[in-house]
Amino acid sequence: MLNDNLGMDTGIGSRLRTRAEELQLTDAEVARRLGLSQSRYAHYVSGTRSPDYQTLARICSILMTSPDYLLGFSKKVVERPSEQKLLWDRAAAALSEMDLRSLRLAAEILDVIARQQRDERGST
């Protein structure tokens, strides 16, 4: 558990929520990506519990920020990722949970979309 007596701001929960909203992630999605239950992550967001250091590092990776920001040592978040980066991450997270059959279907759908876009670019 993180020590709340280190002189740091105790607003980690509000920073978790704000950063997730900036990235268009729900608390449930952040919890899923962390491999935590929604209720455990909700404790972090509400401020009733603090994540251990390893969990904090994983949260920072998912929320694309630094521990210093989440712990209140810095006001600098990090640069907002592009919409394309957010969509790549979202697609990768969804694809990583699919079984082989669903993955094949997703690949076929993406091939069709890519082919349509190539055809549209070629005809303009």
48 located within any domain: yes
pLDDT per residue, tens digit, the chain (124 aa), is 444 434 344 589 999 999 999 888 999 999 999 999 999 999 999 989 999 999 999 999 899 898 999 998 888 777 666 778 778 888 888 888 899 999 999 999 999 999 999 888 887 6
Predicted pLDDT of residue 8: 40
Predicted pLDDT of residue 3: 43
Same-domain check for residues 44 and 21: yes
For 81, residues 6+ apart whose C-beta sits below 8 A from its C-beta are 23, 64, 89
Same-domain check for residues 46 and 97: no
Same-domain check for residues 90 and 66: no
Count of structural domains within the chain? 2
Same-domain check for residues 65 and 16: yes
45 located within any domain: yes
Q: Please give the residue range of the domain that contains residue 47.
A: 12-71
3 located within any domain: no
Predicted pLDDT of residue 85: 78
76 located within any domain: no
Predicted pLDDT of residue 104: 95
Same-domain check for residues 16 and 66: yes
Contact call for residues 73 and 8 (beta carbons, < 8 A): yes
Residue by residue, DSSP assigns 2-43 as: --TTSS--STHHHHHHHHHHHTT--HHHHHHHHT--HHHHHH
For 22, residues 6+ apart whose C-beta sits below 8 A from its C-beta are 77, 80
Same-domain check for residues 57 and 27: yes
Q: Distance between CA 77 and CA 19 in Å, rounded?
A: 8
Same-domain check for residues 105 and 61: no
Q: Distance between CA 124 and CA 115 in Å, rounded?
A: 15
2 located within any domain: no
Domain with residue 41: its CATH number is 1.10.260.40
